[in-house]
Amino acid sequence: MNISHEPTPAAQTTIRRIAQRTRGRKHGPVTRLMSPSDLGALLKPFVFLDLFEYEGPPFEAGLHPHSGIATLSYVTEGSVNYIAPDNVKGVLPAGGVEWMRAGRGMWHGGGIGAGRTRGFQLWIALPPELELGPAISLYQPPEEVRIDGPARVLLGSYGSASSAIESPSPINYLAVRLKAGERWRYEPPAGHTVLWAAISSGAVSVPDALRQGDLAAFEASNEAVEFEALSDAEFMLGSAVPHDHELVLGNPSVHTSPDALREGEAQISAIRKRLVQERRL
């Protein structure tokens, strides 16, 4: 007797559905697509996602603090300025990455260059063993961001490409570009049951249509998602093993416990006093 191991038609057409979608809330040039009060609770370790779109003269945002989290800023158009914790200043062009792991606490800053600028800033909750660790800042020019096919690997690994940035937990974060009519299938690694996509430009089908400014949170599973570009499109995609810890929030901070939050905020205050003495604030 011959037994077929071919998948059934139903298995061949399994679709990982969208669980929730949003266009976020706009405040000036920034649209907050995700926060812990909404999709961030569903998609943690991804807890905040901001889409920034600005056109005009350059401006500086100054220094501000964080603790207990990591942030990854990715520029899709234009350029941003940065001020590292050690007061080193620089410019990050389109395709570049700023990575900051705040740990116990740090201050950094920056601004936006002249003309049109677009990009995303993602906040990632840190596990307990890193949330009070040392602060780390890294800046990658576009040529150092590794690529496999249509995907730029900002964090984690995809295909033959791996980010040089050490991920704080099992996370993939990709910037994907497709031409109209192209298809791309994302197979998440085992355990990456958290998955979302945010459309930077154009429109895609998953098979539900997503257009510029949409964020889609997919149902929790390990199923793949296939994207078809309805026009030239660029989107951000995040997948991860879930962050199985509570989110304890301060104004600039995210921690896993009230004690850790208190320690982080104390470190932020101590750094602030030093910055005031150095006349940097």
Instruction: Examine residue 215 and state whether it is found in any structural domain, yes or no.
Output: yes
Say what percent of the chain tops pLDDT 70: 95
Q: Is the pLDDT of residue 201 over 60?
A: yes
Instruction: Examine residue 231 and state whether it is found in any structural domain, yes or no.
Output: yes
CATH number, domain at 173?
2.60.120.10
What mean pLDDT is predicted for residues 130-155?
A: 96
Which residue, 80, 141, 138, is CA-closest to 111? 80
Instruction: Examine residue 225 and state whether it is found in any structural domain, yes or no.
Output: yes
Q: Is the pLDDT of residue 186 over 50?
A: yes
What mean pLDDT is predicted for residues 247-275?
A: 94
pLDDT tens digits, 45-55? 999 999 999 88
Instruction: Examine residue 262 and state whether it is found in any structural domain, yes or no.
Output: yes
From residue 50, give the alpha-carbon distance in Å to each of 30, 167, 281: 6, 20, 25
Question: What letter does residue 6 receive in the DSSP assignment?
Answer: P
Q: Is the pLDDT of residue 60 over 70?
A: yes
pLDDT tens digits, 12-34? 457 899 999 999 999 988 999 99
What mean pLDDT is predicted for residues 198-221?
A: 97
Give me the pLDDT at residue 12, please.
47
Give me the pLDDT at residue 111, please.
81
Give me the pLDDT at residue 5, please.
30
Instruction: Examine residue 9 and state whether it is found in any structural domain, yes or no.
Output: no
Burial of 174 (0-12, 13-18, 19+ CB in 10 A): buried
Q: Are 85 and 108 within 8 A, CB to CB?
A: yes
Dihedral (C-alpha) 62, 23, 127, 111: value to the nearest 10 degrees?
-10
Domain that residue 233 falls in: 21-277
State the pTM of this model. 0.91
Indicate the number of domains in the chain: 1
Instruction: Examine residue 78 and state whether it is found in any structural domain, yes or no.
Output: yes
Instruction: Examine residue 202 and state whether it is found in any structural domain, yes or no.
Output: yes
Q: Which residues, 6 or more positions from 180, have their beta carbon under 8 angstroms from its beta carbon?
A: 202, 229, 230, 231, 232, 233
Give me the pLDDT at residue 13, please.
55
Give me the pLDDT at residue 26, please.
93
Instruction: Examine residue 106 and state whether it is found in any structural domain, yes or no.
Output: yes
